[in-house]
Chain A
């Protein structure tokens, strides 16, 4: 099981916004971390830097003992296989079936074009994809086009795709922000169950303070790109969290102007 270590990570965008400012974070297997912070506090940028969708300005991200910034494109692909990402807007291909979308999870480790289509994928991968769909409770929707599913179901399919990847680290970027409260809780339950049963690192960016307090083992609060809070969830009180959000005001104004 891999751990994730972030050291002195900085990210400045070309427009001058300092999205991340000397972020340090160590995440261990089996630990569910919730990232909290207002819009523009750097939650998404942090997660995107970890998978390499953004290139950090300085600092390091280490997955296990491999430093992401020192990797060739082929090695970066290798590391990305270990990093499962769940997005706010699911990022599924709408006109493909749920099954086909889940099968996409194997694209990281697959070699050759036959992995690209359900018709030609090896039996082993097809069975694995079906097992992942069954794990999220959607085995009966395998053949249904993704764009005909509800929001909660879409996020389940996205989680199944992530499981298909067999990752060691799961990064969820506001996974419940587009869902109603009930579906949101189901998705949070699912993410936490999976992280516990497979001893994965789970980092989940959230907006909802109640959800954070209900699920997190550890809460990391970001404000203007800096870690302002990093503590066991049971030791965090409501006033601190409110402070985290209220002190974001001036920063939000600056971002809006630039």
Chain B
């Protein structure tokens, strides 16, 4: 058959019109976008003015003041500890939850759906809101920060742990079941060992995000460096604020580096 044949094979069309229902969705999203640009009132003049003010801020912030460096480092360590304790607690709680939530280990599909929904609920509420709630519940300090981060970590780790468990190849589980291992024997013998490297890697991602969360949680009074930063900003002590920002930067970077190194080692 040659190309000149009259009944040549039909080519697929170059362009296919999208389904009609994409049109209203696109219009609504475009409307929100344009309105958003409008209410931001980000005019070029304002941006330029802001740029000069940033210069002013930096001028006042330099050189960073070392006068309160000791207490800043102390508070930053507290922030890191809040993140660490909260993440470890959250990861530990996530372990049984994910076994209940994963379709291949859950005792009952309804229970799996229930636990999944609970974990999703923990995830959709932002950590800052958990922080505010726990401050009401247990008062100011490190405790509400740790609780907020633990809940946030459960929302994250619960989901990813369960997904990892569902990806585990069924072979080894079947082998242990076939040789008479109990339900817990299969969990300890085949599931946990196969999923552990991934659990550690996921928990380290959670820790990285927890350290940033813990800084912000401090701003609402949940312990750590956040309070210090807010105070310095409000007192217009920008040189102290810069010190705090630099210390936070150093700690966040260090945690990310450490997490990346450990992840590489376990995976």
User: CB within 8 Å of B: which residues of A?
Assistant: 51-53, 77-81, 83-85, 87, 89-96, 100, 104-105, 107-110, 113, 115-117, 158, 161-162, 165
Nearest CB in chain A: distance from B39 CB, A: 53
Complex: A232 Cα to B179 Cα, angstroms: 29
In the complex, 23 of the A-B residue pairs with CB atoms within 8 angstroms, ordered by the A residue number, are A51-B178, A77-B181, A79-B180, A83-B178, A85-B178, A89-B171, A91-B172, A92-B172, A93-B193, A104-B175, A104-B179, A104-B189, A107-B176, A107-B182, A107-B186, A107-B189, A108-B179, A108-B180, A116-B188, A117-B188, A161-B179, A162-B179, A165-B179
User: CB within 8 Å of A: which residues of B?
Assistant: 171-172, 174-182, 184-186, 188-190, 193-194, 196-197
Nearest CB in chain A: distance from B167 CB, A: 13
Point out the residues of chain B lying under 8 angstroms from A93, CB to CB.
Answer: 172, 189-190, 193-194
B193 touches A107 (CB 8 A): no
A109 touches B180 (CB 8 A): yes
Chain A interface main SS type? mixed
Point out the residues of chain A lying under 8 angstroms from B197, CB to CB.
Answer: 95
Contact partner of A108 (CB less than 8 A), chosen from B171, B174, B181, B184, is: B181
A77 touches B180 (CB 8 A): yes
Chain B interface main SS type? helix
- A107-B194 contact given A89-B171, A91-B174, CB 8 Å threshold: no
B176 touches A95 (CB 8 A): no
A77 touches B171 (CB 8 A): no
Contact partner of A85 (CB less than 8 A), chosen from B172, B175, B185, is: B175
Point out the residues of chain B lying under 8 angstroms from A100, CB to CB.
Answer: 193
B180 touches A91 (CB 8 A): no
Listed residue (A94, A104, A110, A158) with the most chain B CB atoms within 10 angstroms of its CB: A104
Nearest CB in chain A: distance from B94 CB, A: 20
A94 touches B194 (CB 8 A): yes
Contact partner of B180 (CB less than 8 A), chosen from A78, A89, A90, is: A78
Using CB atoms, name the residue of chain A closest to B186.
A107
Nearest CB in chain B: distance from A256 CB, A: 23
B181 touches A107 (CB 8 A): yes
A105 touches B194 (CB 8 A): no
Point out the residues of chain B lying under 8 angstroms from A52, CB to CB.
Answer: 178
- A53-B178 contact given A93-B172, A113-B184, CB 8 Å threshold: yes
Complex: A113 Cα to B182 Cα, angstroms: 11
B171 touches A110 (CB 8 A): no
Complex: A77 Cα to B180 Cα, angstroms: 4
Closest 7 CB pairs of A and B: A108-B180, A80-B180, A107-B181, A91-B171, A91-B175, A81-B180, A116-B188
B194 touches A87 (CB 8 A): no
